[in-house]
């Protein structure tokens, strides 16, 4: 965390405590391709390490100025190996992306589900690639000076091919899931716009007890492999 260069002394390393996989993940079509990570200790936030907002607007036409970031390859077919492990680059890279309507994308890629969104360009050439999976697709809207994590790099056919945009997990569809799963850990995170009463009823019906109150220290952040939620252990 906290650096755009893997060799930087500012990199903060954390150990994994537990992985929370989505219970309906489908490896055949990559539906519900999202997971949460329980870290063994908190992350110290700073100017270089800040949490990102989660989307509270479903309409894709609302979002603008979208960017994808990652440590992956810049061309299809790159072999990811060596000292950098799954990373093809030592420096974090970014690229501006255009959101593609679900109607258009479904014509090109019938595998598209309601939990996915497409981004890239009609002509190709702009895309995430090998090693970027799990990275964030961030956007903003209006004159708001905030970035929102709209998608998670999920899958694609090649890199930057015409009429084959990148496929992303649509985070908006998982706001309730994030709330429920973090509440099970005793550190519920309530994304903006979610009805906490509805979530509480679901938790009571599934666990038979009241959920813990929201934790102000619970923050959301992205790492390069999957969406992270900092559920700090007591």
Instruction: Note the pLDDT tens digit of each residue in 184-214.
Output: 887 777 665 444 444 444 545 554 444 443 3
**DSSP secondary-structure letter at 5?**
B
| C-alpha to C-alpha distance for 60 and 50, rounded to whole angstroms | 24
Phi, psi at 167, each rounded to 5°: -105, 135
pLDDT number for residue 200:
47
| C-alpha to C-alpha distance for 21 and 34, rounded to whole angstroms | 7
pLDDT number for residue 227:
41
Calculate the average pLDDT of the chain.
74
Cα–Cα distances (Å) from 94 to 11, 27, 159, in that order, read 18, 27, 14
Instruction: Output the pTM of the full model.
Output: 0.75
The structural domains of the chain, with segments of one domain joined by +, span 55-173
Instruction: Note the pLDDT tens digit of each residue in 1-19.
Output: 666 676 776 777 888 888 8
CB contact set of 59 (below 8 Å; sequence gap of 6+): none
Query: Hey, which residues does 98 pair with through a beta bridge?
Result: 120
Assigned fold of 55-173: Thrombin, subunit H (2.40.10)
**Which residues does the chain have with pLDDT short of 70?**
1-4, 6, 9, 75-89, 124-125, 127, 160, 190-234
């Amino acid at each position: 965390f906290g650096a755009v260069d893997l060799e930087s002394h500012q990199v903060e390393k954390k150990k994994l405590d537990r992985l929370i996989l989505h219970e309906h993940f489908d490896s055949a079509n990559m539906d519900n391709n999202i997971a949460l990570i329980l870290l063994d200790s908190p992350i110290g936030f700073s100017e270089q390490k800040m949490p990102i907002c989660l989307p509270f607007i479903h309409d894709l036409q609302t979002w603008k100025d979208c960017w994808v970031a990652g440590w992956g390859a810049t061309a299809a077919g790159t072999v990811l190996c060596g000292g950098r492990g799954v990373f093809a680059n030592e420096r974090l890279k970014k690229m501006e992306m255009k959101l593609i309507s679900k109607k258009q994308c479904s014509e090109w890629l019938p595998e598209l589900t309601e939990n996915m969104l497409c981004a890239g360009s009609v002509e190709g050439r702009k895309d995430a690639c090998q090693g970027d999976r799990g990275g964030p697709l961030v956007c903003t809207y209006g004159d708001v000076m905030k970035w929102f994590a709209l998608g998670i790099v999920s899958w694609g056919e090649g890199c930057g091919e015409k009429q084959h945009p990148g496929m992303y997990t649509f985070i908006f569809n998982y706001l309730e899931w994030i709330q429920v799963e973090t509440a099970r850990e005793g550190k519920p995170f309530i994304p903006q716009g979610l009805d906490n009463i509805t979530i509480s009823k679901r938790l009571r019906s599934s666990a038979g007890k009241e959920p813990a109150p929201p934790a102000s220290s619970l923050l959301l952040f992205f790492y390069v492999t999957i969406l992270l939620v900092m559920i700090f252990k007591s």
